[in-house]
Amino acid sequence: MKRKAESAMKTAASRAGGAVRPRARRARLIVRRLPEETLVYDLDTSRAHCLGPVAAAVWRHCDGRSSAERIATVVRKETGAEVGEAAVMVAVDRLSEAKLLSAPLPPAGRSRREWLKQAAMITGLTVVSITAPLSVEAATCVANCATRPNTPAGNCGAIPCCPPATGRCCRQGSGQNCGCRTSGSCTA
């Protein structure tokens, strides 16, 4: 099953990524490499991203000259992970979405969507946005408590709700948004 999926991904990747020569964006980014991940802050969009080790390695080797196949070879050597051309294309696609490439990739065709779906389980390929938990921002009051998703935990903040609402913005039951609790503390 796994081999079949890998083979399908390879075929699709060759079709979609053969001609792609991605170039990483370097300007106006702040990059910090940690032992298990790479953090990137985009000064243009004020967005922060966390790159898994494979995605980070792919990004480092996007020099505008190397093909996906070439990048896969280098990344495989560097990380020891079983990275193929398809995995590189998934990473490149995610990097493009995060605006970490100097030029965006052309819109995804049906085949690319397919291998993106199939590659979802590959570890280390993640490129995720980092958002601040509300309480880290030390807001004085929460204007839109009821529209904030319940998770992650600090998202509700236990911070007073802005008038006209009253109480503190607290976690509710799973699947619900945060809510203004008027009596007791958020931990009660």
Residues that bind other proteins (CB under 8 A): 30, 32, 34, 37, 39-41, 48, 50, 130-133, 135-136, 138-141, 151-160, 163, 166, 185-187
How far is the C-alpha of 20 from the C-alpha of 169, rounded, in Å?
47
**β-strand pairing of 38-42 with 29-33:** antiparallel
Copy the structure tokens of residue 34.
């940690």
- Closest by CA to 125, choosing from 146, 103, 151, 97, is 97
Residue 169 host element (H or E): strand 168-170
- Closest approach, Cβ 37 to other proteins, in A, equals 8
Nearest approach in angstroms of CB 174 to other proteins is 10
CB of 23 to other proteins, least distance (A): 23
Cβ proximity to other proteins: between 16 and 54 the closer is 54
Give me the least distance between CB of 66 and other proteins, in Å please: 28
**By C-beta, is 100 or 116 nearer to other proteins?**
100
**Other Cβ atoms closer than 10 A to 145:** 25
Nearest distance, CB of residue 17 and other proteins, angstroms: 29
Q: Which residues contact 41 (CB under 8 A, 6 or more apart)?
A: 29, 30, 31, 47, 48, 49
User: 13 or 40, CB closer to other proteins?
Assistant: 40
Q: Which is nearer to other proteins, 41 or 81 (CB)?
A: 41
For 171, other C-beta atoms within 10 Å of its C-beta total 22
In this complex, which beta carbon is closest to other proteins, that of residue 103 or of residue 136? 136
Element (H, E) at 89: helix 85-97
